[in-house]
Structure 1
């Protein structure tokens, strides 16, 4: 994966693009191409549609670059555009309704600490196995959209909870609840399959 340029370099590139050096735009978005595509694919579940969503997101980012104020990271702003495009595509495709997402995780509102043993820690040689990669992709795809958004932004894009909440225009506490629920859903879906793949490995932990 390409390294993300530092913020000052991004600001310099954006200023040059707005000044007319539009050929620099591809260099600006290159580090984010995979993230944008993966985010799109996780929602539309179709490679052709994901490519369309990604291309439309890049096009809108280019057209609206002058509206980017640098209050957030460029990559975060780009992911926000991608999310909106993916949601629009889902609405056009008559996406299935999702359950209510705004109630606390437990009756007393406490978010319990049961966590998936972070799939980012899965050894690369195991992750490269097509079977495991497919299991993970299917589990993420099976999450309701709002949970999937939070999970991908927090665990894949590695935004902090505050950034996730701001991007999705929800409270930090609600972002935490949705992340907790997403992790628990992932745990429930993945545990039997991962255990079958490698019975000796501890895939989950409680803290």
Structure 2
């Protein structure tokens, strides 16, 4: 079977047949299949998840699922495509389960809010960003301020806040997303233009 250096090596058909038939040496054959594909599966997931340890865990889950479902692989599509489909499904489930951490995409701002002042050195842009964040937070009051306090000061999850307040989980998630975007924009403006 021909393959170029940019694409993962396809497992030989004999290897797949032995695994699917549970013939002699099928466990070793599956280990070989994992060895052939684990590099690109990890790379695929690591390129989409910032937490590489979580990506590695997901890669293991992909191969566990492949192990369980290998008999359903018909060979109509490429094996790599079949495996990538499993990886995409695991990735979707991961993002869905961690939605309150993933939504918004403002990871640096999230880190500033979560860690607080003592997590950053007193020199460089980090302290300036923290000062800007403090000034931007001072402009927020009322229910939005209370929501930020519950989420980032008290450390409650969005589900806990939803249960206590009676507000919908999705509505709160979107409100937090908008607040993070507003705060990120405010911090960026303050960092660009020194106050007089």
TM-score normalised according to structure 2 size: 0.44
1 or 2, which has the higher helix percentage? 2
Relative contact order, CA 8 A, sep 6+: which one is greater? 1
Larger radius of gyration: 2
TM-score normalised according to structure 1 size: 0.42
